[in-house]
A and B are shown apart, each in its own frame.
Chain A
Amino acid sequence: MALLLIVFAPAAAAFVLTLIPRAARLAITVPALTFLYLLIGAPDGMSINIPWVPSVGISISFFMDGLGLLFALLISGIGSLVLLYSSAYFDEPAEYSRFSRYTLLFMMAMLGIVLSANLLLVFIFWEITSITSYLLIGFKHEKEAARDGARRALIITSAGGLAMMAGFLLVGIAAGTFELPEILGSGDVLRESPLYLPILGLILLGAFSKSAQWPLHFWLPGAMEAPTPASTYLHSATMVKAGIFLLARLGSTLNGTDVWFYVVTGVGLITFLYGGVIAMRQTDLKAILAYSTVSWLGVLVALQGTGSEYAASALVIGILAHALYKGSLFLVAGSIDHATGTREIDKLGQLARKMPFTFAGAVIAGVSMAGIPPLLGFLAKELLKAASLYEGMSGILATLFPIAAVVGSALTAAVALRIVWDTFLGSKAADTPHEAHEAPFSMWIGPLVLGAGSIILPFLLAPTLDTLVSKAVSAIRQETASIHLHLFEGINTPLIMSTIAILAGLGIFLIRKPVIAWLQARREYNPVAVYQWLFYDALPNGAEWLTHRLQSGKLRFYMMIAIAAFIAMTGLTIYAGQINLLGADVLGALDWEIVIVCVLLMVGAWAGIAAPTRLGAIVVLGIEGALLSLLFALFGAPDLAFTQLMIEVITLVLFVLAFHFLPDAFTTPIRLSARVVDAIIAAGAGLAVTMLILAARSNRIGDSISHWFVDNSVPIGQGHNVVNVILVDFRGMDTQGEIVVLIIAAMGVTALLRLRPHDQPRGKYVAEDTNQGGGDGGDGGIDQQHS
């Protein structure tokens, strides 16, 4: 129960906020209480399982292990600070309320991902994070950049999510269940399954897209259009770590193979270095933070390549340290933007005195990010280096990993120094749109609380962190682990590597001006161009081309395709199934009256083809309809006959009204080739229908149900007209659906007719319509047919 409450309370709060928008300030209590409960009161091993769609193995099941606990703490803790922060960040109460609602929904989805015990449930929550993230990035939806960024994030992450779902389904096939606790025990089954490679590829695609790994990272900088509290929450602390979470969750069942090691470590390290380099050349504070986040996400992925215990501890501390310092820096960036009106680092400087509390938060975060002892960031970097020296690795990556760890850490340190120094200190004063001033309490308290975490946690290793890390590492590796971390382990290789990294970072920072200038002069090899081409050129143009090919706007063409498809499918089915057509005596029941009507119908069909004018053709069609209803009447179906007759009358009127728009005579002759095609299709349609009727008569499967209707019409339906009893009672649901279809058709007709501008003369309209080859094209299409 507690788990259900933890996951769904934010959604309930969001619902309450839609009813009472002014209650937004109270929303923070939900994540805050969750955080406290998880920190103090949550018992170990909670789980709940409610069947949802048992036939396909979907259940609403949640469980909490060390990994889930770690993430749930981050989600609820940072969520509380972000909601508090945004109460001052948004000037409009309505905006604050809307933001809170989206954020709470996102929080629900995120908690759902990390606590779900069913893979398909994970997928559902995963997609909800994509959608809520879309809403949050596009929060300032009147800005085009925000809309673009939101769309980009949605396309990339939800495409990844779909790949991931396919991967999950394969896991379900291979493991025979979607329940995570059972899957976690069947790692060997998965690794030996022939589906292993597809599973791995699809799940990695999902994880890499969500966690912004190169080359799918580019949506993350685009997502910086979101309000800064959202960036803090989604794009540094929680959502982008969902991919990391997924790898950690499933790592124990999938890792241990060469493919896993090379792909995961390789992609992670490329992202680590790429992000660090690109972060250096940015000038927008949030863009710098975004790329440095990409960089650190790379580390968190690379660490999962080996599956060693060192790497798992480094991962846990890395997630924690990054959430604390990067969350803090994002909030600081938001405060600076809020106070000065700009985020361009070149325009900022010497803000320390004007924004002392914000500065304090920034310094702590920056020091932690640079990996300077004794903050939590230092511990994370130490563990990273220790993990990079793990002996179990082989091949070229075993050499490259430690080097990349040092280089990447140096870049991180340089970026951290640059952020803090160039905004708050530096030699030149700020040149900003607004005069800088300290942010309100609710905005500077967040960075300070997070900073306090970075400072205090390393000194409370034994009582607090060791337990959490041990639990999380046990969950990641599926082996009971007992981790004892030490801030200082004596002079060893990791410490030397860390020292080199910090000094190198300081060096890069000191010569940053030429370095940045050099980097900015280089071309950025950004895959966003591919994305732009794909989704803004190739896809729309391709769709347009295809639409023009298929949607000619000519009703005649559509009918031709539909009828031809009908002929082909009927013929193929009868041919391939070798269906007997002559099994029944179909001609036995023929009356001479029926024969006469049928002959008349055939003569009428010919007359319709031969009619010289449109009006003549319409009249002939009307007569055909009347003959058809006569046929129904002869077969003893008065209801059908009557309805058919009425339909004919109304159709005739409609024809006459539409006829008004068309030239009277078929003035221009139709090409012979077109006539031949028409004749073939017409003959084929007749043949196909005939075969269908013969096949239906000759192959009765089971008894007819019409007797049941006839027998039960009076006792159950209380009516003597069987047809009507069927329509309004026995099959009433069908009728209900049909009248809705009728309404949709009527609305469609109205909309199409009103599409035409009222003041536009008819001739011009038709001309334009024909040129475009689209639209309702009633006139243009039929005219063209004869030209």
Chain B
Amino acid sequence: MTRSVFFKFLARLMMPVLLLFSLVLLLRGHNQPGGGFVGGLVGASSIVLMTLAYGADDVRARLRIDFLRAMFYGVGIALVAGLIGLIFGDAFQDAFWWKPYIQGVGRLEAGTPLLFDVGVYVVVFSVTCSIVMSMAEEGERDDVG
């Protein structure tokens, strides 16, 4: 498959933007449209774009993330967020918030629901990347063979 230089350039341009945007979506999700799920999808779309532009093998070699492993970390993070509630609170996924005021920046809002959302983000991100890249690799192998 020959890939256009312009597309490659565009993908490289878009990747950091999309990744950053996905993090914004994740962090603001509790109060404005967004959240871990859609954030993970937007984040994955940056990798998908790179895969389409450069090919799965190239992207995998540069990223060096084992998505199959990463998605378990995601579930792990979500579980830890729930367990904090179980251990320090009344029940599994009992919410805890920590909202310190930082001079000149604003109020930071952190809590176990956010941590849980981070877990969701990681799972959605790695599941999507894993599926898309497996499919893409399948196609590349046929090109060679």
A residues contacting B by CB (< 8 A) are 638-639, 642-643, 646-647, 649-650, 653-654, 657-658, 660-661, 717-721, 723-725, 727-729, 732-733, 735-736, 739-740, 742-743, 745-747, 749-750, 753-754, 756, 758, 761-762
Closest B-chain residue to A733, C-beta based?
Answer: B93
Give CA–CA (A690, B38) in the complex, Å. Answer: 29
Q: How far apart are A753's CB and chain B's nearest CB, in angstroms?
A: 5
- Collect the chain A residues with CB atoms within 8 Å of residue B135's CB: 654, 657-658, 749, 753
Contact residues in B for A729 (Cβ distance below 8 Å): 93, 95, 113
Task: Decide: A728 near B117, CB < 8 A? Known: A646-B42, A733-B93, A749-B134.
Answer: yes
Q: Which residues of A contact B93 (CB under 8 A)?
A: 729, 732-733, 736
Interface centre among A643, A657, A660, A725 (most CB of B within 10 A): A657
Contact across chains for B29 and A724 when beta carbons are under 8 A apart:
yes
Render B42-79 as a binary contact track against A, CB cut-off 8 A, 1 for contact.
10110010001000000000000001100110110011
Chain B positions 86-145 with a Cβ under 8 Å from a chain A Cβ: 92-93, 95, 97, 109, 111, 113-114, 116-117, 119-120, 123-124, 126-128, 130-132, 134-139, 141-142, 145
A721:B127 contact, CB within 8 angstroms: no
**Measured CA separation A657–B131 after assembly (Å):** 11
Whether B30 and A642, one on each chain, are in contact in the complex, defined by CB atoms closer than 8 angstroms, is no
Q: How far is the CB of B77 from chain A (nearest CB, A)?
A: 10
Nearest residue in B to A750 (C-beta to C-beta)? B134
A747, B132: Cβ atoms closer than 8 Å: no
Assembly CA distance A647 to B40 (angstroms): 11
Do residues A761 and B145 form an inter-chain contact, with CB atoms below 8 A?
A: yes
Which of A650, A732, A753 has the most chain B CB atoms closer than 10 A to its own CB? Answer: A732
- Give, as a whole number of angstroms, the nearest-CB distance from A652 to chain B: 10
Other 8 A-B pairs with CB < 8 A, given A639-B38, A735-B120: A643-B37, A650-B45, A721-B34, A728-B36, A728-B116, A739-B78, A739-B120, A750-B130
Check B32–A720 contact: CB distance below 8 A: yes
A214 to chain B, nearest CB (A): 54
| Interface positions of B (Cβ within 8 A of A) | 29-38, 41-42, 44-45, 48, 52, 67-68, 71-72, 74-75, 78-79, 82, 92-93, 95, 97, 109, 111, 113-114, 116-117, 119-120, 123-124, 126-128, 130-132, 134-139, 141-142, 145
Question: In the complex, what residues of A have CB within 8 A of residue B92's CB?
Answer: 733
A658 and B132 CA atoms in complex are apart in Å by 10
Is A650 a contact partner of B78 (Cβ separation < 8 A)? no
Report Cα–Cα, A747/B66, bound state, in Å.
Answer: 13
Which 4 pairs across A and B sit closest by C-beta, in order of nearness?
A: A719-B30, A646-B41, A720-B31, A739-B123
Tell me if A653 and B139 are in contact (CB < 8 A): no
Give the residues in chain A near B42, CB-CB below 8 Å.
646
Known pairs A657-B139, A732-B82, A758-B141; A739 contacts B119 (CB<8 A): yes
B33 to chain A, nearest CB (A): 4
B29 cross-chain contacts in A, Cβ below 8 A? 721, 724
Q: Given A650-B48, A718-B111, A724-B30, A743 and B97 touching (CB < 8 A)?
A: no
On whether the beta carbons of A728 and B139 are closer than 8 Å, the reply is no
Q: Is the CB of B130 within 8 A of A647?
A: no
Whole-angstrom CA separation of A753 from B135 in the bound complex: 8
Q: How far is the CB of A737 from chain B (nearest CB, A)?
A: 10
Given A736-B78, A762-B145, A718 and B95 touching (CB < 8 A)?
yes
In angstroms, Cα B119 to Cα A724, docked, is 14
Q: Is the CB of B41 within 8 A of A643?
A: yes
B71 near A749: Cβ-Cβ < 8 Å: no
Set of chain B residues within 8 Å of A723, measured between Cβ atoms = 35
Q: Is the CB of A745 within 8 A of B127?
A: yes
- 21 example contacts (A-B, Cβ-Cβ < 8 A) are as follows A642-B34, A646-B41, A649-B45, A653-B52, A657-B132, A660-B139, A719-B31, A719-B113, A720-B31, A721-B33, A721-B35, A727-B36, A728-B113, A728-B116, A729-B95, A733-B92, A736-B78, A742-B71, A743-B127, A756-B138, A758-B141
A639 touches B33 (CB 8 A): yes
Complex CA distance for A510 and B34, rounded to whole angstroms: 93
